[in-house]
A and B are shown apart, each in its own frame.
Chain A
Amino acid sequence: MMGMNKFGIPLAMMGLLFITGCNKENKPAGQEETKAGGFARSKTLYLGGSQWGDPNSFNPLTDWPAWPVNDKFNIMFETLLAYNTLTGKFEPLLGTLESQSADSVVVVLNPAAKWSDGQPVTSADVKFVYELGKRFKGAATAYAIDFVSDIKVSATADKAERLTFMVNKKGRNNPLVVLDFLQAIRILPAHIFEPKLAQLKDLAEVQKLKCDSNPVVSGPYNLETYSNEKIILKRRDDYWGNAALHGGKLAGPQFIIHPIYKSNDAFAIALAQNDLDATQTYIPRIWMKKNAGVMTWYDKEPYFVPGAVPTLLINSTRYPLSDKAFRRAMAFAIDYKSIKDLAVSGYSPDIKPGAIMPFGIEAGFYNDEDAQKYGAAFNVESAKKILADAGYKSVFKADGTLDKMIDGKGKPVPTLFVKSPAGWSDWEAIVTLAVKGMRAAGIDVREGFVDAGLYWQSQPVGDFDLEMIKPAASVTPSQPWSRLAALMSSRTWAPPGEKMNENQGRFNNPKGKGYIKAVDSLLSVIPTLTDKAALTQAYRQLNILFMQEQPALPLCYLPEQFYQVNTKTWTNWASEANPYAPPNLPWAGAATKMLWELKPAK
């Protein structure tokens, strides 16, 4: 009657579910191309999970260029050094680390390093990038001048250029972050960009260039073509590093293709079907994909090398989160084991109290005695006791679920919401479980999944009660300092509504009552310490303060990148058994060298 096919909708719906259920989503682009023969599967490496939106620009001077010109990727534009996230050591790339101290870091440029147009990579290129902030406030690397006061150039005995990065003593005085820069800031060809700056007169104009047609790069791959569906890189057979760094070998894959899918599950299916060789996206139950040829760093739990700490950031300016006892009770109420087992497929080792990881590069700064003494571990009774002692009363309904909370003055405690982006499946599960635990202990918390755009907006201005974050998520030379600073530093403290890029929960207001000066003094002194014992002691103190004050709730450990690869087309990937490269995808940091070791499967 309504001019509508009466059975059409249910049948179509059913059909849709069957198709998505059995045929495993739409065919990823890779497969068609193999058949068309454009990029032979055996010569192409398909990587995924680093580009989600349409690639807009490959201009390295912009704030948000597309893969692989963003983040810590170094296969088009290279950094001075590569950082090995497994060993915590620097490896040579455009340069070699010669020495480091509290005052300076010295790097020797590789004289063989060349741009793709044949020009050598020189100190002028390095200075161009690091000092761009002196000329243009809007430069993407403008922050560097707060940390590096000057780059002194001298010659070594064999006439290579020696660069001495002087720590900006009057600025941030932070040699740790200078080390971060060396493995993160990509060096750009000054001889290409300077004329453009001269011609267009303004950095903002130069930033509008897309740089997507045969850009001059120093890395082993260059941009071949791109669309909204994929980005395609082609191997540069004349790459300087083939001879200088890799014994004359060519990198294995002739092409690297990054298909752009819209959701984690699409990447998961593509990886299992060997349409992708590696993806850094979250895939639940990775062990079930073993038969499809999927491999991870460890072949049993936790499968991945921990590197980041998903954390619930607490807004300390809001009542009752301003109450330390309330925050501590939250930390006791969360069942961390269930988060590990159910929300993240067991990809996390058991979590320890505090914000320092008890293993890997950070192990030396972690102290188990302190954790036992000051830390909060899952214990509902302790949580309830802390709340009761602080005067809070939880009212439960007849069916045992929480109704409301009342504070010591008899006033109702407002329901708190955990802000987290809707659709981020692993985070959604983590938040659901954290909320479940806290509610069971009588804390009135609810999930508040919001649109990702809203989530990102709310973070710097502190518009949240609790918010899921990954503080300083990269494994860099400055860890765990950078994580602790991201959670506790009051250096740029601003009231809610104004922007803050660290400690967005606004813990420890420097002008507020009960300001703990030790937190900020420790955070500023740690980067300058070179004595191992003093450094360990300082980290211990800071971690104790974290546990006592609980400005945030670390929930589990996850890898910096989910390193999961399919071995059906390419073999000889690095792994626990063959740790020749760190557990990153072969486009980031020291993991790039895997490209020269990958072998086509027989």
Chain B
Amino acid sequence: MTKLLKNLLKSPSFIIGMGLFLLTIGGALLLPFFYHVNLGLQASSYASPNGKFLLGCDHLGRDMVSMLIEGLRSSLYVGLLTGVIATTLGTALGIYGGFKGGWMDDFVNLVTNLFLVIPSFVVLILISSSLSKGRSLTLIGLIIGLTTWTWSARAVRAQAASLKSRDHIALARINGANTFRVLTLHILPYLASYVFMIFILQVASGILSEAAISMIGLGPLDTVSLGTILNDAKNQGGFGDGMWWAFMPATVIITVLVFALYIINTSMEGVFNPRLRK
């Protein structure tokens, strides 16, 4: 484990990715201690950046820096929620199906394929047209998580299937280990690095999905997220009137955050995968 970590730390792209990621997380978690986050109405509509409001204000005169901190927290929350749900669900189903094989595997595959073709957008539109109390950030995270676990399931299933004929599994079986024990103690550890990389990708895709969904106006209605900031900029004419502070910082933060996660993923693959290891 320490060796792996050492190898990781030797990879410059991992350092860059991790650095960027920690920077954004740090921004979300620590900045509120140094910066007074205030989402109240403080200035005129789209006040431009000045000494008091470093990144200007939004259409309602709310401080953009506060909005971005709040938005970043929301986006990270959705990303992590999505990542946990999608990875847990996908790994559990994939590992079980892949290991069991037979009709069980076919069934899991069927369910996976079924979910694979349901776009989260459609689910969101349907849900938002039936919920009168509106959409919350958690609901958005849940929906994204519950509709994007499929590719983790597929990837894990393939790996689990290749592991099931290994000798140590047969030994564990002879020793009387039940399926649950085999899966958790003898297969999952082999896939841990792999699952972790899936998790990172799921977090990234969760953040992007939230931004995309919010941008077209289907985002959370009770919270500020990076996506809703972009949606407001679009709806309130921020793009057309050249209010760069209304959309540029949020765009940059999303890009940096997701970019960091993807670099982490790639660099980890380079370290974990023996064939790619230098």
Contacts and interface: CB of A to CB of B under 8 A. Distances in A.
Interface of A: 1-2, 4, 6-7, 9-10, 13-14, 17, 20-21, 24, 263-265, 268-269, 272, 283-285, 288, 338, 341-343, 345, 417, 419, 422-423, 425, 428-429, 432-433, 436, 446-451, 453-454, 458, 463
B134 A449 contact: yes
A429 B240 contact: no
Contact of B255 (A14, A283, A446): A14
Main secondary structure of the interface of A (DSSP, over half): helix
B236 interface: yes
Nearest to B252: A14
Contacts of B244: 21
Nearest to A335: B41
A13 B255 contact: yes
Interface stretch (B104-112, B184-192, B262-270): B262-270
Given A13-B255, A284-B241, A450-B132, 8 more contacts: A9-B205, A13-B254, A265-B237, A284-B236, A341-B45, A345-B45, A422-B134, A436-B41
A268 B237 contact: yes
Contact of B237 (A20, A21, A283): A283
Nearest to B211: A13
Contacts of A263: 235
A22 to B, nearest CB: 8
Contact of B45 (A21, A342, A463): A342
Contact of B240 (A6, A7, A268, A422): A268
Most buried by B among A1, A341, A345: A1
B146 interface: no
Of the four ranges (under 10, 10 to 19, 20 to 34, 35 or more), the interface on chain B belongs to: 35 or more
Interface of B: 40-41, 44-46, 59-61, 128-134, 151, 155, 197-198, 201, 204-205, 208, 211-212, 217-218, 221-222, 230, 234-237, 239-241, 244, 247-248, 251, 254-255, 258-259, 262, 265-266, 269
Nearest to A263: B235
Given A2-B155, A13-B211, A449-B221, A429 B258 contact: no
A429 B208 contact: no
A345 B46 CA distance: 11
Contacts of B237: 265, 268, 283-285
Nearest to A17: B251
B235 A264 contact: yes
Contacts of B130: 454
A283 B235 CA distance: 9
22 contacts: A1-B269, A2-B155, A6-B266, A7-B262, A10-B258, A10-B259, A14-B255, A21-B248, A263-B235, A268-B240, A283-B237, A284-B45, A285-B46, A343-B60, A422-B134, A429-B60, A429-B236, A448-B132, A448-B134, A449-B221, A450-B132, A454-B132
B59 A342 contact: yes
A268 B236 CA distance: 10
Contacts of B241: 284-285, 288
A422 B128 contact: yes
B240 A269 contact: yes
A142 B105 CA distance: 63
A432 B134 CA distance: 14
A60 to B, nearest CB: 31
B134 A10 contact: no
Nearest to A432: B60
B136 to A, nearest CB: 11
